[in-house]
Amino acid sequence: MSCHGDTRRSSYLPISRTAGSNLPPGAGESLAHCELVPDPAHRIMLVVRIIAVLNQKGGVGKTTTVANLGAAVASRGRDICLIDLDPQAHLTLHFGLDPGTTETSIYEVLTADATIASAAATVSPHLSLVPSTIDLAAAEVELASTVGREQLLRDQVLAAVLPYEFVMIDCPPSLGLLTLNALAAADEVCIPLQPHFLALQGLGKLLETVALVQKRINARLRVTGVVLCMYDSTTRLTAEVEADVKNFIGRARNADTPWSHMRLFETVIRRNVKLAECPSHGKSIFDYEPNCHGAKDYNALADEFLGMIDGAAAAEPQAPRAEQPEKLTNETPQGKPVAASAASGAAPAHIDGADGSATASCGTVAPDGPTGEQP
C-alpha cells in the first residue's frame, strides 16, 4: 500500500517489538496489505489509513457510503473499523445497533478516555464499528474548556496499535468540533457529493476548512477524491455539476493545496431505493439486496478505491466518456452522459477560485426521472 507522508506521521502506529520479531496478535490478514516502515529507532510501524468521509451538507450519502463501502472493503478480506462520529447515530442504526445501549461508544472515547478497542463492536468478518449515541450532541459544550479538544480522537487512535488496515469516519453534517476531531485524526478526506446546486456551492467552504486544518493542526491531511452519490443521469444538472467538478480538479493539479491530487471517482452511486431501505433492516446493501444497482455500484467503488490504494489503478488519464444518443434511465448499467454543450443553452455550474470558494450558476434542467431516495 502506498501512503503519502513521512515515517513521523502520527497515524503510523508503533508496534512495541523490534524488527524481525513476530507482529502483534490480532493484526490479522490486513498485514498482508500494509506497508511496514522502519522509524529512526528501527521499530516496526504499522500504517493504518484513516479516512474522514465528510460533507457539511446533510443528505448527500455520507452514511450510506461509509456503511456500504466499508462492508464492501471488509468482504474482500481487508480489516476496517468504522467510527460513527454523528450524534444522529445513523451509521450505528444502519448495522442494527441501538444507540445508547452499548456499554461504550465514541462519546466515552472522547469524554471519558475509553479506548477505540473497548468501543469497537464486530458487526461482520473484518468489519468493526465504534457506535455513536445522542449524548455526543453535548460533547462540544462539555469539551469547551478542554485543552487540545480538537485532537482528542487523534490521541485515542494513537494510544494503541489497532488491528485494522483502514479506519473510516462518518462525520456529522457540520464543521464543528466533532468534524475537526475527524480531520485532525485523518490522513485523507473523501467527499460524497450529490450533483445538485446547493451541494456544489458548499464544496468550496469545505475545502477551505480542510486547508485550514492542514495548515494549523494536521499537516499530512489530503483530499483523496469526490464520489458522486444519488446520481441521476436523466437530468442535465447532473452532467453540469460533474463537468464542473472535473474542471475544478484539473485546475488544481499543480496548486499547493490539500486537494491538488484529488480525483473524481469514475464509479458513481446511482439513485436506488434499496439503499434507503436497507438501514431499516439493520443490514448493509450486500446483506439486504446483493443484486440491486446500489450493491453493484458500491462493489465497483470498493474495487476502484482499493485499486487506487494498492497502486493497481491505471496511471493514464481518464478517457472521455462517449456521448449517449438518448437519455439514460436510472436502471441502466454504469453509464453517464457528457456535460451539456453550449448549444443546449444551459450554463454549467462552476467552482471559482484556487482557494476553493464556490459559486454556481445553473441553466435549464431537464425534468427528473423516477428516483428512489437515498439517505
pLDDT band with cut points at 50, 70 and 90 for residue 185 = very high
pLDDT band with cut points at 50, 70 and 90 for residue 190 = very high
Average pLDDT over residues 225-235: 93
| pLDDT score of 134 more than 50 | yes
pLDDT band with cut points at 50, 70 and 90 for residue 201 = confident
- Cα 30 to Cα 53: distance, rounded to the nearest angstrom: 21
- Cα 124 to Cα 71: distance, rounded to the nearest angstrom: 8
Average pLDDT over residues 7-17: 34
Q: pLDDT by residue (tens digit) across 25-70?
A: 444 443 344 444 433 333 333 578 999 999 988 889 999 999 999 9
pLDDT for residue 309: 87
Say if residues 165 and 80 touch (Cβ distance below 8 Å).
Answer: yes
pLDDT for residue 242: 93
Beta strand pairing call for 49-53 and 188-193: parallel
pLDDT for residue 351: 56
pLDDT for residue 271: 93
- Cα 277 to Cα 285: distance, rounded to the nearest angstrom: 9
pLDDT for residue 50: 96
pLDDT for residue 58: 87
Paired residues of 128 in beta bridges:
81, 122
**Residue in 68, 44, 310, 312 with CA at minimum distance from that of residue 165:** 310
Helix (H) or strand (E) holding 167: strand 166-170
**Residue in 189, 225, 184, 209 with CA at minimum distance from that of residue 307:** 225
Q: pLDDT by residue (tens digit) across 96-110?
A: 999 988 889 999 999
Q: pLDDT by residue (tens digit) across 322-375?
A: 343 343 444 444 544 444 433 333 333 455 444 444 444 443 333 344 344 444
Order the strands of the 12-18 sheet from edge to edge: 12-18, 43-47, 36-38
| pLDDT score of 130 more than 80 | yes
Burial status of residue 317 (CB atoms within 10 A of its CB: 0-12, 13-18, 19 or more): exposed
C-alpha cell at 295: 450493491
Domain parsing of the chain, residue ranges: 48-314+328-344
| pLDDT score of 141 more than 50 | yes
pLDDT for residue 361: 40
pLDDT for residue 314: 40
Any idea how long the chain is?
Answer: 375
pLDDT for residue 35: 44
Secondary structure of residue 17 in the 3-state scheme: strand
- Percentage of the chain beyond pLDDT 90 is 55
Say if residues 168 and 69 touch (Cβ distance below 8 Å).
Answer: yes
- Cα 96 to Cα 90: distance, rounded to the nearest angstrom: 10
What does the DSSP 8-state code read for residue 231?
A: B
Mean pLDDT of the chain: 77
Q: pLDDT by residue (tens digit) across 242-296?
A: 999 999 999 988 888 999 999 999 999 999 999 999 999 999 999 999 999 999 9
Q: Which range, of 26-35, 68-77, 136-145, averages the lowest pLDDT?
A: 26-35
Higher pLDDT among residues 254 and 119, named by residue: 119
Q: Which range, of 71-85, 153-167, 270-284, 300-314, averages the lowest pLDDT?
A: 300-314
Helix (H) or strand (E) holding 232: none
Per CATH, the number for 48-314+328-344 is 3.40.50.300
Say if residues 232 and 371 touch (Cβ distance below 8 Å).
Answer: yes
Higher pLDDT among residues 127 and 5, named by residue: 127
Q: What are phi and psi of 361, to 5 degrees?
A: -135, 125
| pLDDT score of 15 more than 80 | no
Say if residues 226 and 265 touch (Cβ distance below 8 Å).
Answer: yes
What does the DSSP 8-state code read for residue 324?
A: P
**Reported pTM:** 0.74
C-alpha cell at 219: 499537516
C-alpha cell at 178: 466533532
